């Protein structure tokens, strides 16, 4: 397709219009997104509802295409409206201009993560409606806020609301990640993230996001820096850090030794912040350290927590360990990907019939699918972007116009299969 054709393509223009809405953190304004989606609903001749599960600054928008057998559990096609911050000086194109170059690359924040997916849903629905298609199951297309900072103001409160329950969701699609190869990753689970919700040091950050971390407040002997006092906070920090890094090294080795494993299949541990002390010659009475910890599905959560507590005692005690999960202890069950799950069968049949090469993976980060799975609804993460560099959250994020349009065709087939289960 030529540049002129890309410029005149209706679906490409809708996509670019959506990308030009700067719903960007730390202070996203979703109202322009809501107005844009209302115009889309009018064009599609579909009813639209706007919900406010937490407050009026964080709307959840749902378009609905009613099925022929609407008593059956429905299909949810989910995406998020928010995007991460940008550093414009590092972009070769304005991050919210949605410029398209002569090669067909559309540059914009959100082009991969994940305004593309939301608009591909709508483009596929538009084409299916135009063809006169009807399906057994009702299809809901949702656009949520706040996913990029944890979903605490969007999907998290929405899934427990009566409004969500009234949608009668039986299966959900959500975002995946671009693939630099021809293989499309399909995500059926996420690692368990340990999170901490209180504390002055991280209070501002906590207001913005669900921060994945294990936080240790390490108390110790204080005094002059010329002394060699026992049980200092620094000694304890060294012991704990050594234990965590040994565990980390084991996971690095697993990943290196088994080429079949992806980063989502192992536990990741990274020391991210250390805070404390007043000046160079004073031994501080308290050091606070945070580790980003994401537990793989083969790790027993309670056993890992017990090991952390044991290491704190071995270090000399006096360590306050602060972590908790947003859910109950343990992993959120992954989506079943065998013949017992008819939605998985329908999804896989669609990709097979299209001749797509797919690979099941555990999502390395976090998406709103974890909230949906937690309430017992199977969910898959899938973004139809293969042969594409992974640029989510990166400078010069782009998606090729042909890849975008190919994704629309892929979703058409997947939606038909899922909605007729």
Count, in order, helices (H) and strands (E) of the chain. Answer: 12, 18
Cα separation of 393 and 232, whole Å?
Answer: 40
Return contacts of 155-162, CB within 8 angstroms, 24+ apart: 155/60, 155/78, 155/368, 155/371, 155/372, 156/326, 156/371, 157/53, 157/54, 158/51, 158/53, 158/60, 158/371, 159/371, 159/372, 159/374, 159/375, 160/375, 161/51, 161/53
Lookup: tokens for 154: 């969007």
Return the active site residues. Answer: 82, 147
**Residues sharing a CB contact under 8 Å with residue 110, sequence separation 6 or more, in sequence order:** 18, 19, 23, 83, 116, 397
Number of other residues whose CB lies within 10 A of the CB of residue 99? 17
Nearest to 195 by CA among 156, 150, 250: 150
Cα separation of 94 and 104, whole Å?
Answer: 16
* Residue 266 phi, psi dihedral angles, 5° rounding: -120, 165
Q: Which residue is associated with the tokens 């949810």?
A: 76
Rg (CA), the chain: 24
**Residues sharing a CB contact under 8 Å with residue 386, sequence separation 6 or more, in sequence order:** 178, 179, 181, 182, 183, 184, 403
* Angstrom distances, CA of residue 373 to CA of 69, 172, 203, 242, 300: 24, 9, 28, 35, 19
Cα separation of 82 and 32, whole Å?
Answer: 12
H-type alpha helices, 220-341: 233-257, 301-314
């Amino acid at each position: 397709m030529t540049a002129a054709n890309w410029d005149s393509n209706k679906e490409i223009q809708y996509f670019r219009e959506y990308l030009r809405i700067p719903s960007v953190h730390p202070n996203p304004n979703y109202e322009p997104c809501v107005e844009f989606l209302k115009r889309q609903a009018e064009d599609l001749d579909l009813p639209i509802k706007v919900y406010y599960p937490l407050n009026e600054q964080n709307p959840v928008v749902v378009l609905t295409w009613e099925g022929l057998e609407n008593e059956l559990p429905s299909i949810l096609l989910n995406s998020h409206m928010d995007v991460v911050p940008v550093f414009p000086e590092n972009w070769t194109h304005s991050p919210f201009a949605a410029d398209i170059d002569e090669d067909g690359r559309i540059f914009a924040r959100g082009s991969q993560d994940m305004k593309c997916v939301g608009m591909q849903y709508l483009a596929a629905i538009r084409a299916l409606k135009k063809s006169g298609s009807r399906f057994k199951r009702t299809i809901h297309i949702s656009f949520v806020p706040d996913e990029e900072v944890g979903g605490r103001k969007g999907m998290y409160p929405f899934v427990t609301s009566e409004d969500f329950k009234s949608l009668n969701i039986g299966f959900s699609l959500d975002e995946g990640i671009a693939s630099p190869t021809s293989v499309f990753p399909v995500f059926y689970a996420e690692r368990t993230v340990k999170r901490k919700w209180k504390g002055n040091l991280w209070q501002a950050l906590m207001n913005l996001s669900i921060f994945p971390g294990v936080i240790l407040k390490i108390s110790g002997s204080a005094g002059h820096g010329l002394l060699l006092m026992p049980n200092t906070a620094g000694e304890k920090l060294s012991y704990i850090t050594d234990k965590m890094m040994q565990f980390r090294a084991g996971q690095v080795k697993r990943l290196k030794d088994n080429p079949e494993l992806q980063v989502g299949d192992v536990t990741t541990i990274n020391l991210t912040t250390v805070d404390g002390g007043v000046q160079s010659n004073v031994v501080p009475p308290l050091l606070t350290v945070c580790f980003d910890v994401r537990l793989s599905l083969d790790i027993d959560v309670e056993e890992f927590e017990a090991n952390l507590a044991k290491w704190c005692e071995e270090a000399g005690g006096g360590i306050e360990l602060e972590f908790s999960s947003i859910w109950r202890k343990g992993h959120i069950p992954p989506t079943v990907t065998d013949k017992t799950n008819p939605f998985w069968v329908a999804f896989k049949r669609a990709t097979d019939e299209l001749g797509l090469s797919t690979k099941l993976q555990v999502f390395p980060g976090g998406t709103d699918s974890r909230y949906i799975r937690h309430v017992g609804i199977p969910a898959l993460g899938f973004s139809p972007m293969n042969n594409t560099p992974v640029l989510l959250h990166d400078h010069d994020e782009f998606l090729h116009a042909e890849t975008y349009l190919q994704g629309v065709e892929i979703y058409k087939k997947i939606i038909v299969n899922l909605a007729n289960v």
